[in-house]
Amino acid sequence: MPQTALRTSVLFNVVDFNDGGIESSLMQWLSILDRSRFEITLAVMYASPAFVSRFRALIPQDVKVEILVDRPWLNYFQSRRYARKLSKPGRIGRDVFNTLAVRPHIRRRIAALAKRHDVIVDFDMSLRRWASQFDIAWLGVNHFSFDARLGNRPRKARRLALQYARYDAVIALNQHMADEAKQMFGDTLHRLVVLPNAIDIDAIRASASAPNATKAPTAAPYIVSVARLDEIQKDHRTLLHAYAKMIEDSDVKDDLVIVGNGAFKQELEALAVQLGIAPRVHFVGHQDNPHALIANARAHVLSSRYEGMPMVLLEALAHGKPIVATDCPTGPREILDDGRAGMLVPIGDVDAMADALTRIVTDAALRDTMTANALARAQHYGIEQSNRRFAACVTDILAVRRGHQSAKAAAQSPARS
């Protein structure tokens, strides 16, 4: 084994960096893992513009970084995709080129890196076609509701089941997600492990006062939502209708601040105008550091139809924010401890969301109680407990592999006379 000075060498892999929850959760793991136990390398397939301009400088200095597609000619189609210049014929050409050139190159790079590591953590399962190869332990991390993504796609679910079975373990971010996987894949997976996302609570709080933290766009008290503007998943329409009902039915002073970009921005801005709430709804776009907006809000709201394990809720807990979240698959109920660390409302229920938000902004005692509960719940996802869970997972997987290797060697050795 390539363990160095009793440290386990871990290779994290991800396709690229944009501005989603996967990137946020990966950055937290890279920061919080116990360096006395783990030596860390990050493999990134493509150096995306967001990686080059922002994330690369944020990666801890002791984390070795490997760009897998490291030759300009291999990046031609991906560069055009990032520049939004990839036509339909270009996408066909990209698929052919990836099959013939890019994938073999990535496979060679992973095979070489595997020789220097004990474990591959395939953080977005983008290497699943090669999982189980290269004589190394493989962990595949799933970030989304299996049912929401695959429930109506049985053929794809069957194909993925065969690929997921190649991992030594598939990581589910919460028990609900694990239960979905058991129901969908049965006993085809070698092992299913619940490993929640992790947070550095002190660093999250410090980010709120950093020079690049975004300041509030209003002098009024406000409710904040941090999510990309994607109505297929995030359902800001329900949030806007709930906010309109809230200010119509109650004399509340709070504005609504929506952090995030996406294809539905113009539609949502038009809906705010239609509902007569536009002067009090502030669309501030994507923010690299929204923590001051979260820390200074009166409440945080998540209106999603489905999730995996939303990092923004963990960050809101770290800031001690009163939270209203839809009781959607799969993350909010577990994160909010069955409603003890925040209010859960049904998906798409305008009245319930409006009522919950009204209660929070009008009841200071309730806010104080919710803040105390949020801060206590945040510790469950903090550095100490997260390291304990990760170490136990990796230790168990490596022990199983060593057992299999010992049994195989014993079976192959000649029988003693």
The answer to the question of residue 330 being in a domain is yes
The DSSP annotation for 111-171 comes to HHHHTT-SEEEETTSTTTTTTT-TTSEEEEEE-S-HHHHHTT-HHHHHHHHHHHTTSSEEE
CATH assignment of the domain containing 407 = 3.40.50.2000
Give how far the C-alpha of residue 92 lies from the chain's centroid of Cα atoms, to the nearest Å. Answer: 29
43 and 187 belong to one structural domain: yes
- Residue 19: the pLDDT is 82
Residue 1 pLDDT > 70, yes or no?
no
> What gap in Å lies between CA 392 and CA 394, rounded to an integer?
6
- Mark whether 97 and 171 lie in a shared domain: yes
Is residue 225 in some structural domain?
A: yes
Q: Is the pLDDT of residue 402 over 90?
A: no
Average predicted confidence (pLDDT) for the chain: 94
pLDDT (tens digit per residue) in 110-140 = 999 999 999 999 999 999 999 999 999 999 9
How confident is the model at residue 411, as a pLDDT? 77
Residue 2 binned pLDDT confidence (cut-offs 50, 70, 90): low
Same domain for 144 and 64: yes
Q: Is residue 3 part of a domain?
A: no
Indicate whether 164 and 269 sit together in one domain.
no
Domain that holds residue 322: 210-380
Region 228-247: what's the mean pLDDT? 97
Inside any domain, residue 2: no
Please compute the mean of the pLDDT values over residues 372-395 and round it to a whole number: 97
Average pLDDT for residues 197-215, to the nearest whole number? 95
Answer whether residue 4 shows pLDDT above 70.
Answer: no
- Residue 395 CA, distance from chain mean position: 23
Whether residue 404 is contained in a domain is answered as yes
For residues 64-76, give the mean pLDDT. 96
Does 93 lie in the same domain as 65? yes
Identify whether the C-beta of residue 381 lies closer than 8 Å to the C-beta of residue 198.
Answer: yes
Q: Are 376 and 396 contained in the same domain?
A: no
Count the domains in the chain: 2
Domain match, 338 and 406 both: no
Between residues 402 and 264, which one has the greater pLDDT? 264
Residue type at position 378? A
- Is 12 inside any structural domain? yes
184 and 275 both lie in a single domain:
no
For position 404, what pLDDT does the model report?
A: 73
Query: 21 and 115 share a domain?
Result: yes
Buried b (16+ CB within 10 A) or exposed e, 58-85: ebeeeeeebbbbeeeebbbbbbbbbeee
pLDDT above 70 coverage of the chain, percent: 97
| 353 and 308 belong to one structural domain | yes
Kind and range of the H or E run holding 172: strand 169-172
* Domain annotation covers residue 417: no
What's the pLDDT score for residue 267? Answer: 98
pLDDT at 151: 81
**Is the previous residue joined to 214 through a cis bond, with omega within 30 degrees of 0?**
no
Instruction: Kindly report the number of other CB atoms within 10 A of residue 349's CB atom.
Output: 15
| Span 345-356, average pLDDT | 98
Structure tokens at 265: 């921005």
203 located within any domain: no
Same domain? For 299 and 331 the reply is yes
At 119 the pLDDT is: 98
Q: Which residues pair with 325 in a beta bridge?
A: 302, 344
Residue 3 pLDDT > 80: no
Does residue 223 sit in the same domain as residue 76?
A: no
Give me the pLDDT at residue 417, please: 42
Higher-pLDDT residue of 118, 187: 118
